[in-house]
Chain A
Amino acid sequence: MIELIGVTKSFGNNHVLRGVDLTVDRGTSLVIIGGSGTGKSITIKSVLGLVTPDAGKITVDGQDVTQTDRDAFLARFGMLFQGAALFDSLPVWQNVAFRLLRGSLKRPKDEARQIAIEKLRRVGLTPDVADRLPAELSGGMQKRVGLARAIAADPEIIFFDEPTTGLDPIMAGVINDLIREIVVEMGATAITITHDMTSVRAIADNVAMLHDGVIQWAGPVGDIDTSGDPYLDQFIHGRAIGPIEAVR
């Protein structure tokens, strides 16, 4: 279980998180929605230790994330970045098997390559992609390689940062289905950040809406259409008129 209690983070005078309280149960898929610049990425980066909160507490399975062995802690996570964040200088298979080629999860090179090819196949890419460089792939293929890298070491917890941004609707649907399948198949705990309501309905067990630095609404995905929350209603229907200012 992942728990955030009163997490705050400011950058100068910009108070991005003003006290985020959030719980993600083990084996469930939470989608965080909210407008641009509301701190969704900062929230998951805080869990991973990529950003240090100013105040509050973050625990994973009851253990404070600042008190854990860093390598062992990070070995439990996989993350798909918004732009895939593939390493340009490495071929695709070495990107996927990055964690398996070094550190505590190191495997023999041939075995790591086989795992990488298997994971690439899992996300719908053929083995001939393995030896290509990331720059030779389309945006959708890069996202899939990023997804393969996120699941390469069979993590317990996976974060997806805007997994369908910049993709055409068909490719976005493919990625959504893959995420859902992988999360169910692996029994992983997942947090996804997205603006895309189609993705929300495809991926989420639960939804949390971040607005003005706090969780404005949280609940099961089946309740979002009947929540009665004016902020959530405005967001999911994409209305310009409502309590959320269109010009921020």
Chain B
Amino acid sequence: MKLLAAIGRAFLGLLAAIGRIAIFAGQTLGHIVRGPFYLRELAISFLNIGWLSLPVVGLTSLFTGAALALQIYAGSARFSAEAVVPQIVAIGMVRELGPVLVGLMIAARVTSSIAAEIATMKVTEQIDALVTLSTHPMKYLTVPRVLAATIVVPLLVAVGDIIGIFGGYAVATGTLGFNPAAYIRNTLDFLELKDVVSSLAKGAMFGFIAALMGCYYGMNSGRGAQGVGSATKGSVEAAAVLILGANFVLTGVFFSI
């Protein structure tokens, strides 16, 4: 009986958390379409989330594309199908690995940073100070970050896709003996518009989730250093899980037959 009660409490807690996040997301969307807009904060968010994430996104994609080429080559050699390496690298990077890895890297780098920053602002009464200075915290802190991430993460995904494919290309032509021109032709011929669109749509959704979770956990953090730590940890966990869940849903939407 106690076990059932504990499961029930956990389930109700989960539903309540989902409800709170849904309300927060709704409020954020509401503020996105209504002014005032803080363009300086938006520009800073573009810089922090987009430009400064490029190195980690580039390196992650490069190594993933290169490893993918090696794996596909080794696997396909078992049934003499080595020629599929360019196509599988392209489809693997663009449809799945590019958006998911970029999403997870953004969750690690950006979500944690947003949550820690906003939680610290809350603990040090900076959020209260914003209110007393007639500035809505959601408009000033949440909207610029969520909007910037939703716009800029698809661009990061596009860059990640290209670098990942280049990683596969470099390994395939450098060590596996593929013809460079044929590799590029096979890659371009095999990719469809839907692959690219799905990749960018996933990027937008993952960016929205990553920034939203950072803001939500930051705004709702507990007191003191422990509160900031818990908010940061919770935001990354929630963002990573939601990104992977959303990836499954979006893959179903775009590619289920």
By beta carbon, the residue of chain A nearest B129 is A85
Instruction: Give the distance in Å from the alpha carbon of A209 to the alpha carbon of B181 in the complex.
Output: 83
**Interface locus among B23-31, B49-57, B132-140, B164-172:** B132-140
Report A96-110 residues with CB < 8 Å from chain B CB. Answer: 98-99, 102-105
**B224 CB to closest chain A CB, in angstroms?**
13
Set of chain A residues within 8 Å of B135, measured between Cβ atoms: 98, 102-103
Whether A85 touches B134, Cβ cut-off 8 Å, given contacts A102-B36, A103-B36, is no
Q: For residue A218, give the distance in angstroms from its CB to the closest CB of chain B.
A: 25
CB pair B36–A81 under 8 Å, yes or no, is no
A77: CB under 8 A from chain B?
yes
- Cβ–Cβ contact A103 & B126, under 8 A: no
Per a CB cutoff under 8 Å, which of A81, A103, A104, A105 touches B129?
A: A81
| A83-B124, A85-B124 as given contacts; A99 in contact with B133, CB under 8 Å | yes
Let me know if B38 is at the binding interface, CB within 8 A: yes
The residues of B that contact A83 with a CB separation of less than 8 Å are 124-125
B128–A50 contact, CB under 8 A? yes
Name, among B36, B131, B132, the residue most crowded by chain A CB atoms within 10 Å (CB to CB): B132
Residues of A within 8 A of B133 (CB): 74, 98-99, 149
CB-CB under 8 A from A70, the residues of chain B are 134
Closest Cβ–Cβ distance, residue B237 to chain A (whole Å): 26
The reply to whether B125 and A81 contact each other, CB–CB distance below 8 Å, is yes
Q: Which residues of A contact B129 (CB under 8 A)?
A: 79, 81, 85-87
Q: Is A74 within 8 A of B125, CB to CB?
A: no
Closest beta carbon of chain A to B34's beta carbon, Å:
14
> In the complex, which of the residues A74, A88, A103 contacts B132, with contact meaning CB atoms closer than 8 Å?
A74
B128 / chain A contacts, CB cutoff of 8 Å: 45, 50, 81, 85
Contacts of B125 in A (CB 8 A): 81-83, 85
Query: A71-96: contact bitstring with B at CB < 8 Å (1 yes, 0 no)?
Result: 10011011101110111110000000
Residues of A within 8 A of B126 (CB): 85-88
The residues of B that contact A171 with a CB separation of less than 8 Å are none
Which of A74, A88, A105, A149 has a CB less than 8 Å from the CB of B131?
A74
User: In whole angstroms, what is the CA distance A41 to B44 when docked?
Assistant: 33
A74: chain B residues within 8 A (beta carbon):
131-134
Q: How far is the CB of B180 from chain A (nearest CB, A)?
A: 47
A70, A71, A78, A79 interface centre (most CB from chain B within 10 Å): A79
* A178 within 8 Å of B (CB atoms): no
Of B36, B38, B126, B129, chain A has the most CB atoms within 10 Å of the CB of B129
Report chain B residues within 8 Å CB of A89. Answer: 44
Nearest-neighbour CB distance to chain A for B131, whole angstroms, equals: 6
CA A70 to CA B132, docked complex, whole Å: 10
Kindly provide the distance from the CB of A28 to the nearest chain B CB, expressed in whole angstroms. Answer: 21
List the B residue with the shortest CB-CB distance to A87.
Answer: B126
Q: Which residues of A contact B124 (CB under 8 A)?
A: 83, 85
Tell me the complex Cα distance, A87–B135, Å: 13
Interface residue? A48 (CB, 8 A) = yes
Closest B residue to A104 by CB, please name it.
B134
Chain B 18-76 interface residues, beta-carbon cutoff 8 Å to A: 36, 38, 44
B134 near A48 (CB under 8 angstroms)?
A: no
Complex Cα distance A77/B134, Å?
Answer: 10
Q: Pick from B38, B44, B133 the residue with the most CB of A within 10 Å.
A: B133
| B38, B44, B125: most-surrounded residue (chain A CB, <10 A) | B125
Q: What 1/0 flags go to A154-177 for Cβ under 8 Å of B?
A: 000000000000000000000000
Nearest Cβ in chain A — how far from B82, in angstroms?
Answer: 53
CA distance A89 to B41 in the complex (A): 11
Output the least CB separation between B167 and chain A (Å): 36
* B132 contacts A79, C-beta separation under 8 Å: yes
Interface residues of A (CB under 8 A from B): 45, 48-50, 70-71, 74-75, 77-79, 81-83, 85-89, 98-99, 102-105, 149
List 23 interface pairs A-B (beta carbons < 8 Å), by A numbering: A48-B132, A50-B131, A50-B132, A71-B134, A74-B131, A74-B134, A77-B132, A78-B132, A81-B128, A81-B129, A82-B125, A85-B124, A87-B121, A88-B126, A89-B44, A98-B135, A99-B133, A99-B134, A102-B38, A103-B36, A103-B134, A104-B134, A105-B134
Instruction: Give residues in B with beta carbon < 8 Å to A.
Output: 36, 38, 44, 121, 124-126, 128-129, 131-135
Instruction: Please give me the 9 A-B residue pairs with the lowest Cβ-Cβ distance, nearest first.
Output: A85-B129, A85-B125, A74-B134, A79-B132, A81-B125, A99-B133, A103-B134, A85-B126, A71-B134
